[in-house]
Amino acid sequence: MGKISIKDIAKQAGVSSATVSRVINNNGRFSEKTREKVLALIEEFEYSPNIVAKSLRTKRSQSIGVIVPDISNEFFSQVTLAIENYCFTKGYSVFVCNTNEDEEKEKLYLKDLEAKGVDGLIYISGGTLDILSHISKRKIPIVCIDRKPKSKDVIIVESDNYSGGFMATEELVRVNCKKIVILKDYRNVTSAMYRFKGYRDALKKYGLPIDPTLVLSINISVNSARDAILELIRTNIAFDGVFATTDWLAVGALDALRQSKIKVPGEVKIVGFDNISITEYSCPKITTINQDKEKIGRISTKKLLEMIDGGPLSDSNEDIIIPVQLIRRETT
Amino acid sequence: MGKISIKDIAKQAGVSSATVSRVINNNGRFSEKTREKVLALIEEFEYSPNIVAKSLRTKRSQSIGVIVPDISNEFFSQVTLAIENYCFTKGYSVFVCNTNEDEEKEKLYLKDLEAKGVDGLIYISGGTLDILSHISKRKIPIVCIDRKPKSKDVIIVESDNYSGGFMATEELVRVNCKKIVILKDYRNVTSAMYRFKGYRDALKKYGLPIDPTLVLSINISVNSARDAILELIRTNIAFDGVFATTDWLAVGALDALRQSKIKVPGEVKIVGFDNISITEYSCPKITTINQDKEKIGRISTKKLLEMIDGGPLSDSNEDIIIPVQLIRRETT
């Protein structure tokens, strides 16, 4: 029975190979019952430590780093939660690093996570930093979420932002909007650019002109959105629809319209983007584009762990696009 | 100059001692400029490696674990964000572990974090698990947030839940409520119990009876709160105020009342607890008790890092109570 493998032990014990590895290493998650069962089988089959040594990959920290702008934003916290849940099932732990989109902080974190020996990195909504130039030559697996980074050969998992932008705009056209404002990130991050392209192409499809005075490139915050819409109203620029490229921007727009006694959806319609819970409990409830945050987190992590397990480190052709859905509520 | 200390180097370089340590260890966060400055000073003053060896604590992973029910809940994500921000300034990284309040998951995480050699643990809203019995004899520093755990000799940082419960109820009495429902966690967690005691004592102070049919012990979710209030309405139990011991419970109550065409605040008043952003953007905006999430996170982490640096591991007398504030909005 000298040729028995970890797989065989796992099968006999009714657990995964990863669990057997963890029991042998006495590192990670398994119940006392599992431990006893696995150890009994190892003894029974005289499982050889040499085979163990071969089968187990070494030099793993069983941890990954997640670099995220701000987990107090629900979109980010839900993606991070999904990452962490998937990691848990695979015996990995997650360092969570909030950068507040500060490039210096991002650089320091990259350095620190490398020093801590993480097995991989997930980089959420970075995109302004050329990350690959800030980690060492040791090729550490990286998956980017939401925004394509400047570094080219990195896998990205993102929502279908183009279709989302198109659907949001089409929804506003459907309810007879003719002058549609877009509130978008002033930076050239890919997610904002794709949503803008969707907006542009939907207007084109329905024969509506693109009016530059209605394209508002702003900071991504409730206050910036509120101020931008108040300014439009103050300067008497007519509009009857708002495509807010994030839900928090939609909340800001809604607040500005309420302050100005402009009826939503009576006089102005709004569509957001993300589908976070504020859209379900605001008043009126906000029509939005759903991003599948659980799937984005899960697929990214699955991909990363495959890379850690020896899959290809990068494949520039491989953008993973997650479908989005229109959630019709009360603002359209 | 053989007697120069890390402190002296730090002073000369205009950085903290911790930064000098990190440069020497080449581990953690510092800029290239800082590194050059510190190394130049070390050379200049012939800083002795023996002194370095003495000054630096060893066997540190420079990481802590945070065990939290669910970071997609804004109260938890804001506390976790504050922990992580404070850790960043001190060169520590944070493993974030979401348990969904599952005891088995909590146990596995404790085991795993210990195996990963974290220097300390912050345990948010645990309290149902006797954690100390699930970590090894090596006394790892622990700070608990929000709920007092079963294990007695652990430091806890919590909001002034008793005063919060009292203030919330007093606010409802102020606006003439006579029959005040309380929505509370069905489990005997300390935060819920203190809020309930505050409710009870406020009613007593104002000569109102405590009606057991108005004390609703439920699961802590929007849906449970909605169902509980709908059930009260269905069974014709009269009430004119709701103290929801979390904001999400307030959102559920508001939804039930809206569905039932009962006016808020016209017919029923509501006060929540936490002050998360949903209360500011719901309709009507929800009056609530503010928990200082940033301070809770920061103070807990400061305390934990002091313990890691050799402070007392525990002091059963030392509950750290963070004041709360009434935020008056539109539901009262």
- Note the pLDDT tens digit of each residue in A264-309: 999 999 999 999 999 999 989 999 999 999 999 999 999 999 989 8
- The pLDDT confidence band at residue A1, using thresholds 50, 70 and 90, is very low
Q: How many CB pairs under 8 A join A and B?
A: 112
The confidence band for A315, taking pLDDT boundaries of 50, 70 and 90, is: low
The answer to whether residues A77 and A124 belong to one domain is: yes
Residue B259 Cα, gap to closest chain A Cα (Å): 13
Mean pLDDT of chain B: 87
Q: How confident is the model at residue A126 (pLDDT cuts 50, 70, 90)?
A: confident
Q: Is residue B276 part of a domain?
A: yes
Check whether residue A89 and residue A192 sit in a common domain. no
Best probe of the B interface among A21, A60, A77, by most B CBs < 10 A, is A77
d(CA B268, CA B258): 11
Residues of B with CB below 8 A from A63's CB? 95, 116
- State whether the Cα torsion A195-A201-A205-A208 is positive or negative: positive
* Alpha carbon distance A93, B97 (integer Å): 8
Same domain, A235 and A307: no
Residue-level pLDDT at B133: 67
CA distance A325 to chain B (A): 21
Residues A297 and A251 both lie in one domain: no
Work out whether strand A155-159 and strand A120-124 pair parallel, antiparallel, or are unpaired.
unpaired
pLDDT score, position B111? 81
Q: Are residues A227 and A81 in the same domain?
A: no
Averaged over B180-193, what is the pLDDT? 94
- Cα A1 to Cα A3: distance, rounded to the nearest angstrom: 6
The residue of chain B nearest to residue A86, with distances taken between CA atoms, is: B98
- Is residue B68, in this structure, part of any structural domain at all? yes
DSSP B132: G
Residue B20: per-residue pLDDT: 81
* The predicted structure's pLDDT at residue A152: 64
Distance from CA of A166 to the nearest CA of B (A): 27
A259 & A184 share domain: yes
Residue B198: CATH number of its domain: 3.40.50.2300
Tokens of B135: 């970590």
Please report, for the domain that includes residue B10, its CATH number: 1.10.260.40
B332 occurs within a structural domain: no
A-chain residues near B18 (CB < 8 A): none
Residues A199 and A251 in one domain: yes
ipTM for this prediction: 0.80
The residue that leads in pLDDT, A60 or A77, is A77
B18 — phi, psi (to 5°)? -60, -40
Residues of A with CB under 8 A from a CB of B: 26-31, 61-63, 70-72, 74, 77-78, 80-81, 84-85, 88, 91, 93-98, 104-105, 108-109, 111-113, 115-116, 251, 255, 277-278, 281-284
The pTM score is 0.81
Note whether B98 contacts A84, CB cutoff 8 Å: yes
Q: Is position B330 within any domain? A: no
A309 lies in a domain?
Answer: yes
Residues B114 and B260 in one domain: no
The answer on B183 and B36 residing in a single domain is no
**Nearest to A196, CA basis, from A167, A239, A165:** A165
Q: Which residues of A touch B81 (CB under 8 A)?
A: 70-72, 98
On whether residue A181 sits in a domain, the answer given is yes
In a domain, B228, yes or no: yes
Determine the residue of chain B that is closest to A278 in CA distance. B278
Contact B63 A95 (CB under 8 A): yes
Lowest mean pLDDT among B202-206, B232-236, B304-308: B304-308
Number of domains chain A contains: 3
B215 and B316 share a domain?
A: no
Q: Indicate the residue among A36, A55, A74 that finishes a domain.
A: A55
Q: Which two tokens stand for residue A118?
A: 């993480």
> For the residues B23-40, what does the mean pLDDT come to?
77
Residue A127: predicted pLDDT: 62
Partner-chain residue, chosen from A78, A98, A282, that has the shortest CB–CB distance to B282: A282
Per-residue pLDDT reduced to its tens digit, B278-291: 999 998 999 999 99
Q: Which residues of A touch B104 (CB under 8 A)?
A: 31
Q: Which chain A residue lies closest to B95 (C-alpha atoms)?
A: A95
Mean pLDDT over A62-73 rounds to 93
Tell me the two tokens of residue A59: 């030099």
Instruction: Look at residue B48 and tell me whether its pLDDT is greater than 60.
Output: no
Looking at the structure, do residues A121 and A151 belong to the same domain, yes or no? Answer: yes
Name which of A40, A88, A95, A89 is nearest A68 in CA terms: A95
Question: At residue B105, does pLDDT exceed 50?
Answer: yes
Indicate whether B91 belongs to any domain: yes
Average pLDDT over residues B126-154: 73
CA distance B204 to chain A (A): 34
Q: How confident is the model at residue A93 (pLDDT cuts 50, 70, 90)?
A: very high
Residue A48 domain boundaries: 6-55
Query: Encoding tokens for residue A214?
Result: 């209605």
Same domain as A173, residue A247: yes
